[in-house]
Structure 1
């Protein structure tokens, strides 16, 4: 934590994928803290979709611009972590949809990560 603000964020692509998220203390004299979590098996067993994000063709400049247009200080002011995430999630997913194309996975690599 830096001046009382939690700087780490754990992002997943499925609800309920992680459990037991805990802060485990700092790394030596660093102001960073370790985060421990469990990956829940039940959430992983769902078959993967046949499309995945194609980060190689992503337009990260546009992505940065779209998220930079949001006045985050005002949007997140006075909100807790859960409420802030709900406010942050919509612009993030909209920017992702505009800037990061998807690609179809095919052949023997369908089950492997992109």
Structure 2
């Protein structure tokens, strides 16, 4: 119950102070990885339609954290 109350207060504060930009998708109500990919795709295809050159490099760091000792990260 306490976590739910704290989350509500923090969420309200962040929303009122506009602390998170509208482009933020992670941990944002109503947005997800899928909405992030759609927004990215729309931006890139828009630039291509304008004749701009677009280069994209995708990196996956998920496995990097599996190889690091968690006690070192916590410390």
TM-score (norm 2): 0.29
| Larger helix percent | 2
| Larger strand percent | 1
